[in-house]
Amino acid sequence: MLGFPKPYSDELLYSTVARAGVHDGETSPKQLLDQVFENRKIIATVDLPSHVQSLAQQYPSNSGLNTSLLIARHTLWPIYAPFLPPERIKKLRNWMAEQSQGAAHLASGIAASRVKAKTELFACRPCLAEQRLKYGECYWHRLWQVPLVRMCPKHGALSRSNIELDGEHRHAFIPVESADLFQDVLVKEQDEVFAKQCAQLLLSNCEGISFAQWSLFYKQFAVSLNYLDGSRIDHSKIHDTVVTFWGKQWLEDVRILPSRIETSWLKSLFRKHRKSFSFAEHIVAIVALSDGRLSISEAINQASSLIISAAETKNQSAQKHDVEPVAPPSPDQLQWKTLLKSYSPKAARQIYKALYARLYRNNYEWLMEIDKSFHTETTLKNHRVDWSKRDRKIARELRRVCKALTENLNAPHLSRTFLIHQLNQRATVEKNLSRLPRCAMLLTLYSESTTEYQARRLTRAYLSMRNKHREIKRWSLLREAGLSDERMTELITALLKDILSE
């Protein structure tokens, strides 16, 4: 794409692509995807986008805007990278550079985290005014989209926009100028502290700190601040300090209030790390326990500089890579393998209980592996729902919706997805359409093809211009209908000729 804009400071790649569409005068989201990515199936992702390499190729090689720089400075990569182990970092970078298909969000822990990504875009009104004055246009700043951040450290509360990230327009990169901003969100003093820490975190260049380093850091951190009960870490005292500093209500609002049970995230944070924790959990613990004296960026630098002993590293490596020599199969193993040719694993277990018990005690891994290879897939049938009755009920609703829409020339494109989204039980229909034959038939009957939609738009434009007694010319009719020669199908081109000839 010629003239692809360079990203501004801390601008999201989502925003850069949106501005590219504005600069090029492209109003079709699909056309924009074609021009930038040569792929119409790209999903407009804010936090950890994929296909970044395609964006890097839009710039000359001497610009310095390579894939690594775009990921580090124009995505939310810095708020996840310091808390992921090195072996996962490399995979995550590759997925973001090329095609991810959701793997980046799974590997980063976003999908399973208690700290959920934002579902709509946010903006700071004073920041937008400053951007317009400085650059002549506005852009989406990445700090505004960090999960749990509800205010700009410089100006105050953020405003929620009408741009939803997971909906009908999830393939559209929407610029700030096209967004409607609602009233400012309600914020507290704690939000300012949290936002400033997140702003520092976005400037961090550190990544791939191992679980062993984070475990050692928190152990030394608790000892240095005397959060001890004898020689053990005093989890009760840590819990009380964190809740007192941030306030129980604020922690509940952001859904990271630690509990006192053994599996609490705050207790796990000060034990041996076996999984990664979210940036918000690290910030809440570090800032509260140090009473604001230690920032998240300083904590990351300290953790990354810790050296794990060679003995511990060797032990971990041995656990991962040591391979035991393969022993010859025992008589019990040979007998079980022969039985599985005639019986299913469950049937063999019920008939030869003593044999199964010996194998379970002495050859557990082998037993699980061979049983798995002989398992037969079972099809579970859900008899709780009368799908025929539900199909008739939803079909009646769908018929009413379709009848109202088909009589309206001004209705949007009546695609299958659009029609489903008009229903009260749209999720049920989307996930179980194979069980709803009446609904499937109605969707096939009433959904419009591209040609049918273009014909309706052309007819609507023609009737509107004729009723207003406007002169009908080819260019004016196309503009009124929102069509172009590049997007029109052959049938619509022929229909246009017939209309103009009359």
Q: Write out pLDDT tens, residues 405-414.
A: 888 888 888 8
Do 141 and 28 share a structural domain?
Answer: yes
Q: What is the dihedral of CA 229, 231, 234, 238, to 10 degrees?
A: 120
Structural domain contains residue 178: yes
Confidence of residue 323 (pLDDT cuts 50, 70, 90): very low
At residue 260, what is the residue type?
R
Query: Which residues are paired to 141 by β-bridges?
Result: 11
Question: Residue 19: pLDDT above 70?
Answer: yes
Nearest alpha-carbon partner for 66 in 7, 20, 24, 108: 7
Structural domain contains residue 198: no
Average pLDDT value for residue range 374-382: 66
Do 179 and 79 share a structural domain?
Answer: yes
What distance in Å separates the CA atoms of residue 256 and residue 239, rounded to the nearest whole number? 12
The pLDDT value recorded for residue 321 is: 45
Core vs surface per residue 466-499: b (16+ CB within 10 A) or e: eeeeeeeeeeebbebbebeeeebeeebeebbeee
Q: Which of 158, 193, 228 is the last residue of a domain?
A: 193
The pLDDT value recorded for residue 170 is: 83
The pLDDT value recorded for residue 322 is: 44
Do 245 and 187 share a structural domain?
Answer: no
The pLDDT value recorded for residue 219 is: 94
| DSSP-assigned letter for residue 185 | P
Q: Which of 164, 193, 222 is the last residue of a domain?
A: 193
The pLDDT value recorded for residue 105 is: 82
By the 10 Å C-beta count (0-12 exposed, 13-18 middle, 19+ buried), 353 is classed as: exposed
What distance in Å separates the CA atoms of residue 67 and residue 53, rounded to the nearest whole number? 5
Looking at the structure of the chain, the number of domains it has is 5
The pLDDT value recorded for residue 281 is: 95
Structural domain for 457, as ranges: 451-501
The residue ranking higher by pLDDT, 483 or 201, is: 201
**Residue % of the chain over a pLDDT of 70:** 94
Which residue stretches of 161-309 are H helix?
189-202, 211-224, 235-246, 248-253, 265-269, 279-289, 296-305
Residue 270 main-chain phi, psi, to 5 deg: -100, 15
The pLDDT value recorded for residue 320 is: 47
Core vs surface per residue 441-454: b (16+ CB within 10 A) or e: ebbeebbbeeeebb
Confidence of residue 34 (pLDDT cuts 50, 70, 90): confident
Average pLDDT value for residue range 422-438: 88
Query: Which residues are paired to 157 by β-bridges?
Result: 151
Question: Residue 244: pLDDT above 90?
Answer: yes
Average pLDDT value for residue range 12-32: 90
Structural domain contains residue 203: no
Do 436 and 392 share a structural domain?
Answer: yes
Structural domain contains residue 199: no
Average pLDDT taken over every residue of the chain = 88
Structural domain contains residue 226: yes
Do 251 and 177 share a structural domain?
Answer: no
Worst-scoring range by mean pLDDT, 93-107, 322-336, 337-351? 322-336
Structural domain contains residue 6: no
Confidence of residue 318 (pLDDT cuts 50, 70, 90): very low
Tokens of 485: 């020669």
Nearest alpha-carbon partner for 17 in 62, 60, 66, 56: 56
Do 455 and 400 share a structural domain?
Answer: no
Structural domain contains residue 356: yes
Do 82 and 158 share a structural domain?
Answer: yes
Residues 6+ apart with CB under 8 A from 263: none
Question: Residue 369: pLDDT above 80?
Answer: yes
Do 96 and 133 share a structural domain?
Answer: yes
Do 45 and 151 share a structural domain?
Answer: yes
Question: Residue 257: pLDDT above 80?
Answer: yes
| DSSP-assigned letter for residue 433 | G
Confidence of residue 380 (pLDDT cuts 50, 70, 90): low
What distance in Å separates the CA atoms of residue 68 and residue 59, rounded to the nearest whole number? 13
The pLDDT value recorded for residue 379 is: 59
What distance in Å separates the CA atoms of residue 79 and residue 278, rounded to the nearest whole number? 8
Question: Residue 90: pLDDT above 90?
Answer: no
What distance in Å separates the CA atoms of residue 400 and residue 179, rounded to the nearest whole number? 32
233: part of which helix (H) or strand (E)?
Answer: strand 232-233
Do 444 and 458 share a structural domain?
Answer: no
Do 230 and 145 share a structural domain?
Answer: no
Structural domain contains residue 95: yes
Do 170 and 99 share a structural domain?
Answer: yes
